[in-house]
């Protein structure tokens, strides 16, 4: 965040403060407004959230309902206190960026920020106009400083949206490069593998006497199949193969996946609520791959190969939901951010394609996958339209 503006090196926050000429006089005006305005904070927070709730579109952001609003009013009061008390330093900027990122995370459309700030601005101005009616100089200083700091807040909010956009762009570019590379390498490897396959065929047809030679020829043949299937998976991730649209019962798909994943002894695998689920339209083979991957990951995450894995199904609002949970250590916060990207893995022998592929298949079915742990252990939730 350090910008070199010619003769001075300053942070982004300092730079924008310089632009609006946010001075020591503004800081003083805000601080002296604090005791005057703070008795109104609770009331202003009520108005702020009433306005969101009475707005058909904006209120959709408040999924958590009344209890969330109660908590948010508290955070908004603290926000107003910070606004007038400062200190307006780098720690302030970072704190405000964190709030901005919360809004980015819930995908709050940016224009509501301006609308919401307008509500706050009006209420603050009203407090200022009433309190300083007899001291026009103070009134003007307070109005100016509040206007500056609120615009700075908006600037920070926009900054976090831009930050997010750049991250997404970088990710998309990485994926595009990855796709091209994988496509080329994958196709190039098919040829030598095909040559190996036909040579093996010839060698085998000569039926070598030696048992060990035969065994090794079989082993090479097996590994050629494995190599081919890795290439197929890779090409599958980058290509958009539309899934079949057959009626599929997830209970059957999961049962077959569990058989393929073959939980070893010491792993307790339970399946709940799947037989009650209605059928959906999809590709049974692709969906089976999804669950094989998730169940295998869950099994591999268990400490010392012991513990439980649960697959829980439910449905509501036209969506089917299946959660795969384990009681391993869960996913660390750093990996979580890039969990579904290709080439991200924590396994010693993994290439990091499993979850990227799973995500791709789920999305091709019009669904979403999320990592939503509750307490200990990993928990992946797949939501699919019926």
Taking CB under 6 A as the binding criterion, the range among 6-14, 116-124, 276-284, 377-385 that sits at the site for ligand HEM is: 116-124
Pick between residue 75 and residue 346 the one whose CB is nearest to ligand HEM.
Answer: 75
Is residue 106 within the footprint of ligand HEM (CB under 6 A)? Answer: yes
Q: Are 357 and 339 in contact (CB under 8 A)?
A: no
Per the rule left: phi > 0, alpha: psi between -120 and 50, beta: everything else, 354 is alpha
How far, in Å, CA of 50 to CA of 72, rounded? 12
Q: Output DSSP code: residue 26.
A: H
Pick between residue 108 and residue 254 the one whose CB is nearest to ligand HEM.
Answer: 108
Q: Output DSSP code: residue 322.
A: E
Pick between residue 125 and residue 296 the one whose CB is nearest to ligand HEM.
Answer: 125
Is residue 53 within the footprint of ligand HEM (CB under 6 A)? Answer: no
Number of residues counted as binding ligand HEM (CB under 6 A): 19
Instruction: Find the binder of ligand HEM among 12, 16, 20, 61 (CB under 6 A).
Output: 61
Q: For every residue of 107-124, which 3-state class applies, written as one string? A: CCCCHHHHHHHHHHHHHH
Spatial CB neighbours of 244, under 8 Å, sequence gap ≥ 6: 282, 283, 284, 285, 286
Distance of CA 336 to the CA centre of its chain: 8
Instruction: Find the binder of ligand HEM among 81, 102, 181, 195 (CB under 6 A).
Output: 102
- What minimum distance in Å lies between the beta carbon of 113 and ligand HEM? 5
Is residue 62 within the footprint of ligand HEM (CB under 6 A)? Answer: yes
Beta strands in 203-284, from DSSP E residues, in sequence order: 246-248, 267-272, 280-282
Instruction: Find the binder of ligand HEM among 117, 139, 203, 368 (CB under 6 A).
Output: 117
Pick between residue 106 and residue 225 the one whose CB is nearest to ligand HEM.
Answer: 106
- What minimum distance in Å lies between the beta carbon of 305 and ligand HEM? 36
Taking CB under 6 A as the binding criterion, the range among 103-111, 160-168, 180-188, 252-260 that sits at the site for ligand HEM is: 103-111
Taking CB under 6 A as the binding criterion, the range among 110-118, 226-234, 255-263, 284-292 that sits at the site for ligand HEM is: 110-118
Instruction: Find the binder of ligand HEM among 45, 97, 116, 142 (CB under 6 A).
Output: 116
DSSP string, 115-176: HHHHHHHHHHHHHHHHHTTT-HHHHHHHHHHHHHHHHHHHHHHHHHHHHHHHHHHHHHHHHH
Pick between residue 47 and residue 262 the one whose CB is nearest to ligand HEM.
Answer: 47
Pick between residue 104 and residue 339 the one whose CB is nearest to ligand HEM.
Answer: 104
Token pair, residue 186, equals 């994958």
Instruction: Find the binder of ligand HEM among 29, 84, 104, 108 (CB under 6 A).
Output: 108
Taking CB under 6 A as the binding criterion, the range among 98-106, 132-140, 282-290, 347-355 that sits at the site for ligand HEM is: 98-106
How far, in Å, CA of 380 to CA of 363, rounded? 14
- What is the signed CA dihedral for 203, 206, 212, 215, rounded to 10 degrees? 60
Work out the number of other CB atoms within 10 angstroms of the CB of residue 40.
17
Is residue 77 within the footprint of ligand HEM (CB under 6 A)? Answer: no
Under the rule (CB under 6 A), what is the footprint of ligand HEM? 52, 58, 61-62, 72, 75-76, 79, 98-99, 102-103, 106, 108, 112-113, 116-117, 120
């Amino acid at each position: 965040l350090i910008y070199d503006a010619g003769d001075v090196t300053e942070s982004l926050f300092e730079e924008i403060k310089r632009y609006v000429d946010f001075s020591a006089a503004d800081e003083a005006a805000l601080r002296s407004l604090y005791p005057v305005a703070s008795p109104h904070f609770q009331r202003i927070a009520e108005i702020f959230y009433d306005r969101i709730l009475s707005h058909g579109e904006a209120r959709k952001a408040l999924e958590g309902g009344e209890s969330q609003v109660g908590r948010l009013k508290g955070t908004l009061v603290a926000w107003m206190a910070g606004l007038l008390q400062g200190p307006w330093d780098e720690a302030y900027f970072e704190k405000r960026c964190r709030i901005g990122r919360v809004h980015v995370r819930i995908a709050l459309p940016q224009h509501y920020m301006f609308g919401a700030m307008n509500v706050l601005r009006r209420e603050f101005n009203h407090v200022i106009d009433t309190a300083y009616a007899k001291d026009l100089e103070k009134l003007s200083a307070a109005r100016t400083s509040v206007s500056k700091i609120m615009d700075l807040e908006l600037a920070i909010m926009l900054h976090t949206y831009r930050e997010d956009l750049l991250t997404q762009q970088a990710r998309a570019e990485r994926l595009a490069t990855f796709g091209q590379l994988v496509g080329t390498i994958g196709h190039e490897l098919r040829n030598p593998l095909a040559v190996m396959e036909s040579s093996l065929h010839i060698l085998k047809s000569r039926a070598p006497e030696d048992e060990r030679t035969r065994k090794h020829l079989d082993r090479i043949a097996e590994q050629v199949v494995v190599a081919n299937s890795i290439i197929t998976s890779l090409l599958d991730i980058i290509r958009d193969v539309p899934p079949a649209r057959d009626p599929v019962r997830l209970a059957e798909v999961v049962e077959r996946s569990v058989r393929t994943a073959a939980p070893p002894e010491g792993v307790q695998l339970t399946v709940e609520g799947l037989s009650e689920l209605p059928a959906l339209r999809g590709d049974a083979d692709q969906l089976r791959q999804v669950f094989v991957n998730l169940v295998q990951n869950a099994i591999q995450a268990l400490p010392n190969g012991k513990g439980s894995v649960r697959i829980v199904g439910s449905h509501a609002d036209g969506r089917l939901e299946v959660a795969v949970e384990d009681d391993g250590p869960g996913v660390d916060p750093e990996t979580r951010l890039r969990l579904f990207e290709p080439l991200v893995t924590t396994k010693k022998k993994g290439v990091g394609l499993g979850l990227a592929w799973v995500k791709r298949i789920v999305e091709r079915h019009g669904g979403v996958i999320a990592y939503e742990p509750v307490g200990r252990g990993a928990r992946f939730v797949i939501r699919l339209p019926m």
